[in-house]
Amino acid sequence: MIKTQKISKTFRIGKKGQTELQAVQNLTLEVDKGEVFGFLGPNGAGKTTTVRMLTALIRPSTGQAQIAGYELGKQDTEIRRNVGILTESPGMYERLSAEKNLTIFANLYDVPDVAQAVNKYLSMLGLWERRYDAVGSFSKGMRQKLAVARALIHEPQILFLDEPTTGLDPEAAKTVRNFIEELKTQGRTIFMTTHNLDEAERLCDRVGIFRQQLLTLDTPANLRKQLFGRKVVFHLREVNPIWVEEVSKLDGISHVEIVENKLVVSMQDPEQSNPIIIQYLVGVGAQILFVGELRHSLEQIYLEMVKTSQGGSL
C-alpha cells in the first residue's frame, strides 16, 4: 500500500533561502495492506513532513514513492482521493454544524450517499447528539473525533494519523485510541505518527523509529529481542550462588545474575530454556515462587535507538 525508495525533503530557509534544512533523508520503507504502522520520533524529527509527502501535499526533493498503487509526483490527484489524513491541528468551519462540516467534505470527495456516510461516522464517533451544534462549541476532544470522521468520510484505502491524541484529555484520547483499534479490526491500512510510545505499542503491528532518517523498523517484540535479548526472572524463596554457575552452563543461556532473592537469566529462547532451568532448580531443592519475563518497554527501545543515533547523547 505504501512503498518509498530513498525519498528526501530539503527546505531552503533564511531570508534569501541560502540555508538548507534536510527534514527527511533517504527514507525507504514498505507498509502492507491492513497494517497499522507507527512512525515514532521526537518533535522536529520530520514525521509530519513525511506524512505531507506521502499524501501528495508536498513533493519530495528526491526519491520515489507509490501510495495505494499510484506514483507520487505523477498521479497525485488519485493519491489524494485514496488517502485520508488527520493533521495534528485540524481546521474546521467553526460556525457550521458537525453535520454540515462532514457534508461539505463528503461532497468534495464525491461520496455516493452523502447523508448515509455522514450519519455513519457521526454515530460511530459518538457525535450524533451534537450533530446540529456549531463546531466552535465543541471541546478539543470532540473536534478531534470530528476530524477523524472527516478523514474517513470517503472510505480511503490508507489513513494517515499525525499525532492523533496529542493535547487530548485522557477520556478523549481513549475514545480515539479505541476507534483506531476498531479500524484495525476492519483491515484498514493506517500510518500513524506519534511520540506516545505506550500508544504505539498498543496499536501498531510494526514501528519505525525515525529522526530525519529511519533508524530501525520492526515489531516491538523483535526490537526488544534485538536490543536487549530476553530476560526471565525466577523468584525464589532463597538463592544459592552455586546455582548461578550451573544455570550458566546450560545451552542458550548468555548471562545469569542474582538480584535479591531472584535469579535473572538472559537467554535467546525462554520457551525452550525455562523448563530445563525449572527442572534443575527443583532438583537442587529451590523453592520457586513464580517465574516471569522481564519486558523492556518501547520507550526504552526508542531512547536507546535515538541515543545511539546521536553518538551517545539525546
**Which residue do the cell numbers 545511539 mark?**
308
Instruction: For residues 188 and 202, give the distance between their C-alpha atoms in angstroms, rounded to a whole number.
Output: 16
DSSP 3-state of 111: coil
Task: Give me the tens of pLDDT residue by residue for the chain, a chain 314 residues long.
Answer: 899 999 999 998 877 767 888 999 999 999 999 999 999 887 888 899 999 999 999 999 999 999 999 999 999 999 999 999 998 778 889 999 999 999 999 999 999 999 999 999 999 888 999 999 999 999 888 888 899 999 999 999 999 998 888 777 888 788 888 888 888 888 889 999 987 777 888 889 998 988 888 888 888 777 766 666 678 999 999 999 999 999 999 888 888 999 989 999 988 788 889 999 999 999 999 999 999 987 666 666 777 676 666 654 33
Do the Cβ atoms of 204 and 161 come closer than 8 Å?
no
pTM tops 0.85: no
Extract the runs of DSSP E, i.e. beta strands, from the chain.
2-13, 19-31, 36-40, 62-67, 70-71, 83-86, 158-162, 189-194, 206-211, 213-218, 230-236, 253-259, 262-267, 288-294
Q: Specify the pairing of strand 158-162 against strand 189-194.
A: parallel
Topology of the domain comprising 2-223:
Rossmann fold (3.40.50)
Question: What's the topology of domain 228-294?
Answer: Alpha-Beta Plaits (3.30.70)
Per the CB < 8 A criterion, the answer to whether 277 and 284 are in contact is no
Q: Where are the domains of the chain?
A: 2-223, 228-294
